[in-house]
Structure 1
Amino acid sequence: MPQHVPSSPRAASPQGTRHLSALPPQPRRIVFLAHRDLGNPSAGGSELLVDRLADGLTRLGHQVTLLCGGPPAFRDYRVVSAGGTYDHYLRARSAFARRVGDCDLLVEVCNGMPYFAPRWHRGPTLCLVNHVHTDVWRMRLSGPLAPAARIGRRLERWALTGAQHRSLLVAVSPSTAHALHAIGVERDRIRVVHNGVEEPGPSADRSPEPLFVAVGRLVEYKRIDLLLRLWERVRPVTGGRLVIVGDGPERGRLERLAGPGVEFTGHVTEAEKHRLLCEAWLLLHPSALEGWGLVVTEAAARETPTIAFDVPGLRDSVVDGETGVLARGESSFAAAWCTVALAARRREVMGKAACDRAARYRWDRTVTQFRAVAAEAVWGWGGDAHAPCQ
């Protein structure tokens, strides 16, 4: 069942005083409003989550539409473009009215820049939050752009606490739930629905030589530059290769920083990512924060433990000392990297524990949990659940 924030006094009853058996039928027509489609070259964990939810809900009989920026891609559900990468934020309302028309539930995916959907949509809304961007704004927009970062933080905070004041909010981890409460969102409006993972196919053999893999968008807050610096300390101890999987605006700078033994693959297919995660000795995740860290669970499903920092999101997806190691600083990250790399038996035990835990997180369960919150969002809305979208 979807969870409230763990410290909520009503946490024992995921739906508060309402019981799911009392809920009306599920919302039939569901619209997701998001920044990107999964087919976008810049797509990441948020886009994968929305795709799995949309696909799963479609298979359960819902009529699902994704309204997003950029060109639409072919999916089993409908994908509609609201405009370009950035101007679609301004065009979302008109595109919604023109291309979608009506729905039973509008799900706004808030990834920093908000759409303010509850201000212009008269029907039920639900807000899906991967992580609160408080610190990310400062990392992405520094120096002369610092004023823009302050504006971004204020807009996001107001959107989540003011514009969404009648809506439920779905957080992908307890860390995200606590971050939402810290900026002023009431605990009883927050539900936790964890990310899932695919059932892995046949596994590839573990690399006979040390192989370390990092996967993600190459942007500032992922801190791959820090990983490259630590690799210079780790490589003389462990040897082997460090493979960086992913692409993004930081790639050129990072390639110039990389020393011996580092390989950049760019974007890879799911099959290639599967192979690398199976062969890897360790997944390395130096990010400053995450909503959950989908790749951690993907690696875990392939019995590959993770070395990460003890930061929001990753402290939810990694169980310190059991499925990986959470480092408190750069030196402890490097030390854990070396120690676990050189201890084959410890890696094996951690990998099996990680795989056992990953088995609890499957996409069908994620869809079921989200569907329950969707029904609650429609039931709890003060108006007609089937009012046309305006």
Structure 2
Amino acid sequence: MASQSTTDSLTLWSTIPEDVAGEIFKHTADHEGTLLSLVLVSKSIRSLTIPHLFSELEFGGVGRFQEWREMVAREPRMATCPKRVEVALSEHEITSVADVGPIAPLLNVDLVIWRGNLRIFTGFIPLFPNATRFGIKKTSNYTFQQLCNFLGACGRMRALTFSETDYKDRGMGHGQIPFAPLDLSALEDLSVIRVGDRKKNYFIRLLNASQPHNLKSLSFGDMFRDEPCSLQSAERLLQFAAPTVCELLLDPLFPDSDPAQERIMQMFEQLPSFTALESLTIWLGVEDRYALDVVNALQGAPNLTSLTFRISFDQADNNIYTTEFLPLLDNSLQWGAAESMKTILNCKYPLCPRVVFQFCAPRYLVFHHQPNLRRKMERKLKRKLGQIGLDIEEYLVVEWVDDQYVRLGYRFQDGKPLWAPANTGVVDVSSEDSDEE
């Protein structure tokens, strides 16, 4: 006999139109536990949840391909569910696509992320004939020739991400033609995150081989870490993107060396004006003493309408205020220009209506349950910005977003998070607490 709760669930869902239920499931797509629970409610609900439950796949070995093949054999329509696939294969486990056995092409996959040997992956590309977005993640020891062959096999891609990658400093020379035709002409979105390219400059070599005609979005993550995208590569990419890019994200992470920081700022100063730029986002880290000055160093962006500075918190402890926030205020929020930021905005970014400072934090962090602490952090931030002479009070907006940059909501009555039950065990600072440490 069905339980009362099951009966109630069936009654509830039977009254919701399928298109509305589908929208509900779409917004719970990131909550696998919720989707698995919904699968058990009824056959009709199961039919609606399956596409969302299998919209993302990860093939972490030959066995996962076998499991997928068996699932599709039982329910063929599942082959149309995946939209995003991540493939992580060891070259010791597999030498070619033939090792995984026959797999029907995944026609609806648009994004493919690869972790492993690029030479092997070139043979997998036919499994994703309609993919237009590709990522290379945590991959190393590939030659420039293998990279060109891989990118050539991907066809006319729209988006490409390099994340924590490095390649061997050997292989194809500058003048050689890759085996597979390389075509980056349709590329609109390029992300470069923690790429070991200090001396090799393969981004310059890629641009010399095939140039995007209309690059719209360019993102740099950890530009100048120990294994950075080289200054020369960053400068070349920024110069190339300046006429067309609409969205630019910079995570400079300046090195400790003052001469190195000065060279980086000189690079920003020598870039052309970003005439199409509409959105500029700059990350602020504890070591990024020059991050605010990038706004002054750039020649300008006459069509900019969104300027955002992001401050990220990711430590799951109760002392974020003292361990992360206060050091960041002291080290990162520095302004070296003679004019105020307000003056710079009026001259170089005349269409920009506001300056947003975003606090980015995963939803599990405790200070989401501490409204007084959050308000204290906002007051400290505004006071610091005033002290360094930005003069942007009329522009300033402070936002709280999660680690996916989705704006967070808090209850009006008590300031607690809308997405979580009240956490009565959390101790907040007193509303009367001074802002002094």
Q: Same fold (TM over 0.5)?
A: no
Q: Which has the higher contact order (CA 8 A, sep 6+)?
A: 1
> Which structure is higher in helix share?
1
* TM-score, with structure 1 as normaliser: 0.30
* TM-score, with structure 2 as normaliser: 0.27
